Homo-oligomer: A and B are copies of this chain.
Amino acid sequence: MKIALIGAGNVAWHLSKALKAANHQIVAVYSRSEASRKELLNQLPLAKELHSLNLTELEVELVLIAVPDAAIATVATQLQVKSGTVVAHTSGSQPMAVLESIPNASLGVFYPLQTFSKHKPVDFKEVPLLVEAQNIKTLERLRLVAQSISQKVEEVNSTARKQLHLAAVFACNFTNHLLGISRELLQEADLPEGLLQPLIQETVAKAAQHDPFTVQTGPAVRHDNNVLEEHLQALQSHPTYQLLYQQLSRSIQDKTIDARNK
């Protein structure tokens, strides 16, 4: 399929690699960041560099908008395509409707559910690709492209995708922050940074196999008030972490009552 990419960040970078490997043609790239655009075009020698969002002269079947969430609406107000071109954004948090200002396009969403770093290779086959479209024909075209690069393609509508993004904030963004706090606490006690890795791995593996609420461990779920009190004391120089400790412990205790009363 002939594809144009709007955006040249991490998502565009990894998507273009996977699409190329599946024999799709990236025919053009648009990005406001010159550095990213040059870097991406270096890996796509056959692609044209676009200087405007008027794509009506371009022979493409699919336009993928892989720009920061906050910029999608702006791109949509400027983008012009040939009638019937499929235009999809790659965002987890934005509804398909954010693209509605694009005239004559067949709208969709093409959301790879993974966190990308530019120079770290990604096995796209294992990345869930969530698609959505305005109509069945568009859905089938997006699904075909998705299945050519990933084994895990799901149709997920805007409402469910929004909830998925919220769930991902808890499971990934917030988890990463807790791992950062943990690392900081280890450093303060001159303990090796990697000391908790086996425990973290086991925690995540166990949580994947069970309902995490039913395998909760630690002082909060045991209502071990002595330890809870000591931990809050130990966090006195970190008032933000102290507050988090209290809220998370309280939520664990609430949830365990819920889970046991079920």
- Residues of A that sit less than 8 Å from B by CB: 68-70, 93, 113-115, 117, 126-128, 152, 154, 156, 159-160, 162-186, 188-192, 194-204, 206-208, 211-213, 215-222, 224, 226-227, 230-231, 234-235, 240-241, 243-245, 247-248, 250-252, 254-255
Partner of A172, one of B162, B167, B203, B208: B203
A220 to B204, CA, bound (A): 23
| Chain B residues whose CB sits within 8 angstroms of the CB of A255 once the complex forms | 177, 180
CB of A191 within 8 A of CB of B163, answer: yes
Given contacts A114-B202, A115-B202, A175-B204, contact A224 B69 (CB under 8 A): yes
Which residues from B are CB-within-8-Å of A190? 160
Oligomer: number of copies: 2
Q: Are A164 and B191 in contact (CB under 8 A)?
A: yes
Main SS at interface, chain A: helix
Q: Are B178 and A178 in contact (CB under 8 A)?
A: yes
Q: Is the CB of A217 within 8 A of B176?
A: yes
Q: Is A244 a contact of B241 with CB atoms below 8 Å?
A: no
Q: Which residues of B contact A165 (CB under 8 A)?
A: 227
Alpha-carbon distance A227/B92, docked complex (angstroms): 11
